[in-house]
Structure 1
Amino acid sequence: MFNALNGTGGGGQIDRSAGNNANTALYVCFIFSGLFGGAIVNKFGVRLTMFTGGLMYSLYSGSYIYINHTGRPWFTIWAGAMLGLGAGVFWTAQGMLMMSYPLESEKGKFITIFWVIFNLGGVLGGVVLLATNYNHEGPLSDTAYAVFLAIEVCGALCALALAPPSRVQRSNGSAVEIKKADNILADALAILRLFSDPWMLALIPMMLSSNFYYSYQFGPYNGSLFTTRTKGFNNIWYWGAQMAASFVFTRLLDCQSLTRRARALVGIAVTFCTVNVVWSGALTVQMKYTHGASSAGPTDYPGGPIDFTQTSRAAGPCILFACMGIQDALWNNMAYWLLGTVTNDAAKLARYAGFYKAIQSVGAAISWQLDAKGVSFKTQLAVNWVLLDIAAILMFYLSFRAKDTSKVTAKRSSYQEDRKMEVEAPSLAIDD
């Protein structure tokens, strides 16, 4: 739901400054909560941390009602900071579950399950935005924000219904072992030591870029080119395309007829090509305008803001925005898959997930400020494109040095005591 709201540019406000600054506050706080999120989740468990983190999303959505009536941005910026603190822990818990629950052969499948559920929120949010603003132009209505708030509160409550990881069994009967941390400080220091891990250092550009492009896609592109209702319409297709792309892409990542090195190389190659095709299209559109609607007047895009009912004008730009969603799905699915193949240890995966979200947030905090400070749209596009290509090249390098590892004997489950069970050890390693 947050993604749908953010996808309108500026949280649905015509003046994007409050939304941009709130997102910067969000991701700055996210950096710290992400780094220490693994320690907090390992200490307090997933249900409580996901519940409290989830509630912060409703606070953020509700804050825009205050802006609608007062025009003052302080509450939204503060709510963004609170959301950053809660979201870092929330997504650390989610990442740990998604990467530690599946067998080695199911990691791509579990990423898809998550990605479909995740983007259903974006699709539902797009429907809400389209329905509540169909005959409304300007900032999103109070009704839209109120519906978002209510749905997000219900979503946070759903976290309390999660089964404890200790009661979860994998498809082959093996247990999921997650040990709670006795010392949060020691666990946090272990996360900070990841800055000396060659794997993590090489993947930093990938992590940094994984949310960097949102500020351009949601602000200078969707937030600047389209009418209010069309922004909601575009959200439906952006997040819907992500679900389809994730489903297809992770079939490749789980293809057992290929070695992991081959799957990594092919997956990154597909992602790299998609990135360059999509951003080439974005550059073609970007050459036609320099700014979006503001208090100074409408966008300078030829013909003014695009409405989805103007089929001939809308088809290309709307389809391109959906393709941006496909690129996002491939990039983040590839990132999670690579992280999930480094180790099978749930406690370590919680740290990796927290580290990933922290570095991701550094990039996001920078990118939202680029738009807040009025950096030209063309410059923002160029920075995004170059960063993604550099990150992809490093991912290629790591995949060339990757190798499949041997199998080790794991603990037998309670109902498989009569036969030995083998599971693959960390599936991707760097040659010495």
Structure 2
Amino acid sequence: MSPEGKKLLNIVILGFGFMFMFTAFQTCGNIEQTVIKSFNSTEFHGSGYTSMAIIYGVFSASNLIAPSVVTVIGPQLSMFFSGLLYSGYIAMFIYPYTWSFYTASVFVGIGAAVLWTAQGNVLAINSTDNTIGRNSGIFWALLQFSLFFGNLYIYCAWHGHDHITDKDRQTVFISLTVISLVGCFLFFLIRKPDPEPAPAEAAESLLQAESTESSSTSEKLTSAVFFLSVKACKMFGTNEMMLLSISIGYTGLELTFYSGVYGTCIGAMTQFGKDAKSLIGISGICIGIGEILGGGVFGMLNKCNRFGRNPVVLLGLITHFVAFYLIFLNIASDAPIAPEAGTDLQAYITPNLGVALLCSFLLGLGDSCFNTQLLSIIGFLFRDNSAPAFAVFKFIQSIMAALAFFYSNYLLLHWQLLILVVTGFLGSMTFFMAEGLAESTRRESDYDSI
């Protein structure tokens, strides 16, 4: 197999591994608040929103040390052990207790930081300037198939159920745990790409240098850990990352909304009938279709890079604004915080299931627009420092997701939508400015090569 074919195969395996893992985890996140509301046990007093806030809060803090972990043990083992933590969190729902619920949330936050930093590293080292857009799109499309398969299973399992029994919950979460473990073991199929004749980074040189003395090796590892931690912190101060930080933060806010809040809103609308809870699965499928379509199409368009990344981001902004407006008209304002029995309130129009599912599709499509372009521009601008760069990316995204899950416990729907509209507009404007810097960097690189 050619070196380029080997790299493409690695990207495909990476995408399938994440697809299996997040078929389990994203489905878990989509239904957990609804599942928790149905618990009859007096020993459990947890909140799905609070759990997600803990996950993303720990996730954001752990991103500062994640590059060091990935460098020391390698991206392959990093993804495997992180995946086991995800599987443990899902398995906890089989017999849930409040203490185990929140403890597992902390561990998943740590594992998520390492997992996504390793993913960014694998994506970068298996891509070139010409293939980073294509590979980002392929990975994103495969990842988002997780929304399709997991939520289709939820719809079939819960169809006709107006209440989730203990048996229903245990059957679903045992299945999701097994699916997650399959994804973990797929990471062992990824092979190291053939090395290119280029100067290595100082930290990577420290880790790759051979030494016969164990004390010397220990000193090099320590130096590498310190170097990468400092490198990740310094990236906050670069012009490119400061401009991208607002758009990255927006992806964290809308991640919370489409992955946890919106499905809960649909399940709480009693006017959608007794199948409202099973419709959470259909909503997730529509989100997944939007994500897959956007990841595939925009990733491939980015390969040509004729018009840059700005048109795709602008399309994502318009798509999201249309979705937010329709949700504002269609879904009751108290739906995110309604009790297990649901809400009888009506928004500005008679609740329409078709409009609700259209909004799910638009949320997924817009999210893929932003994320594929952010993965592409960060992979381009920070190719030589990919692990710290993706760690900073996930730090910003996850801390905003944690904030959003926290306020989702208290804010009515229209206030959450207002926050998304303002942040999305500001994030798009700053992305356009960062893309201008990327184009300047590309032109300088072309001039130097000439």
How many Å apart are 1:326 and its aligned residue? 0.7
For the pair 1:405 / 2:443, whether they are aligned, the reply is yes
Q: Which runs of 5+ in 1 are unaligned?
A: 307-311, 410-421, 426-432
How many Å apart are 1:130 and its aligned residue? 1.8
How many Å apart are 1:146 and its aligned residue? 0.7
* Paired residues of 2:67 and 2:114 also in contact (CA < 8 A): yes
Partner of 1:369: 406
What are the Cα deviations for residues 148-173 of structure 1, in whole angstroms up to 9, with x where unaligned? 0111112112222221x3x447xxx8
Partner of 1:336: 375
Partner of 2:321: 276
For the pair 1:390 / 2:435, whether they are aligned, the reply is no
For the pair 1:14 / 2:59, whether they are aligned, the reply is no
How many Å apart are 1:196 and its aligned residue? 1.7
* Paired residues of 1:33 and 1:88 also in contact (CA < 8 A): yes
Partner of 1:79: 104
- Give 1:383's aligned amino acid: I
* Paired residues of 2:252 and 2:399 also in contact (CA < 8 A): no
Q: Pick from 146, 149, 173: which aligns with 1:121?
A: 146
How many Å apart are 1:46 and its aligned residue? 1.0
For the pair 1:215 / 2:256, whether they are aligned, the reply is yes
Q: Pick from 182, 197, 220: which aligns with 1:154?
A: 182
For the pair 1:300 / 2:338, whether they are aligned, the reply is no
Alpha-carbon separation, structure 1, partners of 2:66 and 2:139: 19
Alignment of 1:9-408 (within 5 A): 10=33, 12-14=35-37, 18-67=47-96, 72-139=97-164, 141-163=169-191, 165=192, 167-168=193-194, 179=204, 181=207, 182=221, 183-226=224-267, 227-256=276-305, 258=306, 262-286=307-331, 288-291=332-335, 294-295=338-339, 297-302=341-346, 313-345=352-384, 348-372=385-409, 374-401=410-437, 402-403=439-440, 404-407=442-445
Alpha-carbon separation, structure 1, partners of 2:236 and 2:337: 42
* Paired residues of 1:238 and 1:323 also in contact (CA < 8 A): yes
* Paired residues of 2:333 and 2:412 also in contact (CA < 8 A): no
Q: CA RMSD in A?
A: 2.8
* TM-score normalised to structure 1 length: 0.82
Q: Which runs of 5+ in 2 are unaligned?
A: 1-22, 39-44, 208-220, 268-275
How many Å apart are 1:296 and its aligned residue? 6.8
* Paired residues of 1:109 and 1:251 also in contact (CA < 8 A): yes
Alpha-carbon separation, structure 1, partners of 2:369 and 2:247: 12
SS in 2 for 1:298: coil
How many Å apart are 1:405 and its aligned residue? 2.8
Alpha-carbon separation, structure 2, partners of 1:9 and 1:212: 18
* TM-score normalised to structure 2 length: 0.79
Deviation larger for 396-405 or 11-20:
11-20
* Paired residues of 2:333 and 2:414 also in contact (CA < 8 A): no
SS in 1 for 2:64: helix
Measured at CA, do residues 48 and 145 of structure 1 come closer, stay the same or move farther in structure 2, by a change above 3 Å? same
Percent identity between matched residues is 18
Identify, as 1 or 2, the structure richer in helix. 2
Alignment of 1:413-428 (within 5 A): none
* Paired residues of 1:132 and 1:143 also in contact (CA < 8 A): no
- Give 1:387's aligned amino acid: T
How many Å apart are 1:244 and its aligned residue? 1.1
- Give 2:430's aligned amino acid: L
SS in 2 for 1:196: coil
How many Å apart are 1:135 and its aligned residue? 3.7
Alpha-carbon separation, structure 2, partners of 1:143 and 1:66: 11
Partner of 2:4: none
* Paired residues of 1:168 and 1:176 also in contact (CA < 8 A): no
Deviation larger for 137-146 or 90-99:
137-146
How many Å apart are 1:28 and its aligned residue? 1.4
Alpha-carbon separation, structure 2, partners of 1:297 and 1:144: 21
